A = this chain, B = another copy of it.
Amino acid sequence: IQFTYLPGDGIGPEVGAAAMAVLQATTQRFGHTLEAEHHLVGGAAIDAGEKPLPETSFESCQRTGAVLLGAVGGPKWDHLKGADRPELGALLPLRKRLNLYANIRPCKPYEALLDRAPLKRDRLEGTDFVVMRELTGGIYFGKKGRDAEGAYDECRYSESEVERIAIKAFDLAMTRRKKVTSVDKSNVLETSRLWRETVERVASRYPQVELEHLLVDAMTMHMLTRPTAFDVVLTENMFGDILTDEASVLCGSMGVIPSASLSDAREDQRVVGMFEPIHGSAPDIAGQGKANPLAMILSAAWMLRLSFGLNPEAAAIETAVEQALASGDVTGDLGGTLSTDQVGSQIADRVR
């Protein structure tokens, strides 16, 4: 198992170390060898006198095709402009240059965390959907700048960009409850009308999958009033950014949500992917050993499953995380008393 490990900034290295301990235990138990290529990214790279995404880091990602990322950014680098910033200079180029167009984030609250969510328990019970977010197009990557009249950002989508992410969503729905909810703003945006037409064309090839369309504004409500109604939620880049953060609230904590950003399979069949927690670098608690490593550990599990096809290995980690949550062996943010390291070694022990 050869992959690129980019700890990044803030709590990234701490939660990363916990995830590495779990990966070590898992590969040991299942008889694999682990080969992690450590590289700098984000503010950590800037501080070392490099660009936010050093070419050596990128080359490693490209070679291994499997990237485990902690987090990038923080107030220390907020004064930087444009592509000098960790987010714009590292995260977005990684997504674009690795062609990671399919971002997957789950929303399936753990029983042990149900009461932490601001929503009433009876509304949440049974919620289990994933958001399939387009990650390399739209307003994130369109022309942007200033001119005499002010500032502008262009949102663009081509039919093929919409088609390939729609196919990923329908393929995923086929392995689940066979429902796709496509979210757009087609009553206002031309890109959304192209989105809707294209999704409908793709849907016609999946007669067993039910398709519904929702406007993004309505979706922010439905996600809260009928979260159990969704299976696969398909949407464009900016709407996906907004809706996945909203969805994280249903789970009671951002600290347990992994994500995968996938491309297509390479010639050697490896699905190129980057795996990272959806939480950020949390600079306010960095270096104190309090960061919750579960999202990072689950991201490592997703890497095993989605990039290396190691299903039992991934499941072993996921079961261990569920047990840790159920028995309260967690960090302070979830009401436990353990440190980041302790959670990591606990889960590693459970896997062993």
Contacts and interface: CB of A to CB of B under 8 A. Distances in A.
Interface in A137-172: 139-140, 142, 144-146, 149-159, 161
Contact of A246 (B73, B149, B246): B246
A193 interface: yes
A189 B144 contact: yes
A269 interface: no
A220 interface: yes
A238 interface: yes
A-side interface size class = 35 or more
Interface in A87-129: 87-88, 92, 118-120, 123
A60 interface: no
Please state the number of chain copies in the assembly: 2
Q: Which label, helix, strand, loop or mixed, suits the secondary structure of the A interface?
A: helix
A185 B153 CA distance: 11
A217 interface: yes
A225 B116 CA distance: 10
- Sorted nearest first, the 10 A-B pairs with minimum C-beta distance are A150-B158, A151-B194, A220-B246, A217-B245, A144-B190, A151-B190, A118-B123, A151-B191, A152-B156, A153-B155
Interface of A: 73, 85, 87-88, 92, 118-120, 123, 139-140, 142, 144-146, 149-159, 161, 185, 187-191, 193-194, 216-218, 220-221, 224-225, 238-239, 241-246, 248-249, 254
Given A118-B119, A144-B189, A149-B156, 14 more contacts: A118-B224, A120-B120, A139-B189, A140-B188, A144-B190, A145-B190, A150-B156, A150-B157, A151-B156, A151-B193, A185-B241, A216-B241, A217-B241, A217-B242
